[in-house]
Amino acid sequence: MPDRLATFRWLTAPATDNVHTPLGDVFSVSFFHGLEPADVAARFEPTAAAVRSMTLDELHDEVAEFIEETDGDDGGGYVGITRIGEWSVAIEPCGRHTALGDNLARLAQECEAVAVGRHDYAEHAFLYAVDGEIVTAFTPHASVNRWGSDPDRLKEPMRRVGLPLTATAGKAAWDTRWDDALPKAFALAATITGVTLTPRSFDGPLLVAPITEWAQV
């Protein structure tokens, strides 16, 4: 039987497999509809003084240096932004600032936004925001527990990608939800945005902005 989530499993592969998981085991990806990368960068760094163009490898180096300087207490410190279709897509290596509700609400002023956070040592996250308001949010392995101004707004696309809407019993069902939860969250993001991330999505130049002075931990 075909694996419907195969396209998204590279985003959830073990962090030791550097070929298939170039983003690591802690990162957030956020999508902003109708905004250019410079517009998104300005929401992180309004003065534009510290915004630079980098490759993904250079961004990883910058993040590694920041983590070494801060002992990892404030995430990765930077976000890299590119344009894919109608959406600007921001990658935050080693961080989850953009996948926190208050932060995404602030970033999503006058636009539609989606964020997915992977955190292998805490909790993953999915958030959907419109015009500065979190509409639907949940932890992917517990998608029955949704919050926001309209927790059921995404019920149909959630159903299509296989995210549970009601509680089910049994350890086997829980294990399946856990293993597939994050790929399903990225599949849901793709359903909303039309953007299916691939290992090459961030190969081009990224507009990189610092986030530590802006974001809330």
Predicted pLDDT at 4 = 85
Is position 29 within any domain? yes
Confidence of residue 15 (pLDDT cuts 50, 70, 90): low
**Which amino acid is located at 169 in the chain?**
A
> CA geometry: angle at 58 spanning 5 and 16, to 5°?
45
What's the rounded Cα separation, in Å, for the pair 186 and 72? Answer: 26
Residue 194 structure tokens = 């039309």
**5 Cβ contact list (under 8 Å, min separation 6):** 162, 180, 183, 184, 187
What's the rounded Cα separation, in Å, for the pair 148 and 138? Answer: 9
Greater confidence (65 vs 15) lies with 65
Number of domain units in the chain? 1
Is position 215 within any domain? no
Spatial contact of 5 and 183, defined as CB atoms under 8 Å apart: yes
Is position 217 within any domain? no
For the chain, give the percent of residues with pLDDT over 70: 89
Is position 36 within any domain? yes
Backbone φ, ψ for residue 133 (5° rounding):
-130, 135
Statement: residue 217 has pLDDT above 60: no
Q: pLDDT, tens digit, for every residue of 1-12? A: 678 899 999 998
Which domain covers residue 120, as residue numbers?
A: 6-210
Is position 73 within any domain? yes
What's the rounded Cα separation, in Å, for the pair 95 and 118? Answer: 9
Is position 16 within any domain? yes
The strand order across the sheet containing 206-210 reads 52-54, 206-210, 78-84, 87-93, 26-33, 112-119, 125-130, 133-138
Greater confidence (178 vs 108) lies with 108
Alpha carbons within 13 A on the beta-carbon side of 67: 14
Predicted pLDDT at 17 = 53
Question: What predicted TM-score, i.e. pTM, was given to this entire model?
Answer: 0.92
Predicted pLDDT at 176 = 47
